[in-house]
Amino acid sequence: MTSANLALRAAIHHALAADGGLAAVLGGSRVYDAPPRGAAFPYVMLGEARISDISADDGPTQEHLVTLHAWSRQGGHKEAHAIAGALLQALDDAPLAPSGHRLVNLRFSVADIRRESDGRTYHAIVRFRAVTEPVVQS
């Protein structure tokens, strides 16, 4: 992982953990990098990331495709949709400040919501696209 990606993930985690709307839907601050064993449902987990170099003449620029996973049991698809909506509200075009980097943009890309094979767990996969540049020290 790059330092930009680590800084972006930390900024996303911080923003989600502090978001009142998301906490209301989750029933508390249940945002994890990796969920603890026996984590209470529903919760959100920071997932996969894909980083691409999209640099131009102006200097190093990276594109980040960030995946968030939301897991729900009690509220079924309705709760999974509500969590996905709260993630969109919290992050789409959010003015995050990843340490040492400038966030050019952070935009919602796509969401998939499905029932898992156990028949009772719903899984929302929400993807965002971000572009970062390093902060130039003067």
Q: What's the CATH code of the domain at 123?
A: 3.30.2000.30
Six-digit token string for 87: 């993630």
Give me the pLDDT at residue 33, please: 94
Tell the burial category of 12 from Cβ atoms under 10 Å away from its Cβ (0-12, 13-18, 19+): buried
Six-digit token string for 20: 């009142």
- Given a cut of 50, the residues of the chain with pLDDT beneath it are none
Give me the pLDDT at residue 138, please: 62
CA distance 55 to 121: 41
Question: In whole numbers, what is the pLDDT of the chain averaged over residues?
Answer: 94
Q: In what order do the strands lie in the sheet with 101-115?
A: 31-32, 43-53, 62-72, 122-134, 101-115
> Structural domain of residue 66, as residue ranges?
3-134
The residue among 93, 85, 112, 5 whose CA lies nearest residue 52 is 5
Give me the pLDDT at residue 101, please: 95
Give me the pLDDT at residue 1, please: 57
How many structural domains comprise the chain? 1
Give me the count of residues in the chain: 138
CA distance 128 to 36: 24
Q: What is the pTM of this model?
A: 0.93
Give me the pLDDT at residue 99, please: 95
Q: Is 108 helix (H, G, I), strand (E, B) or coil?
A: strand
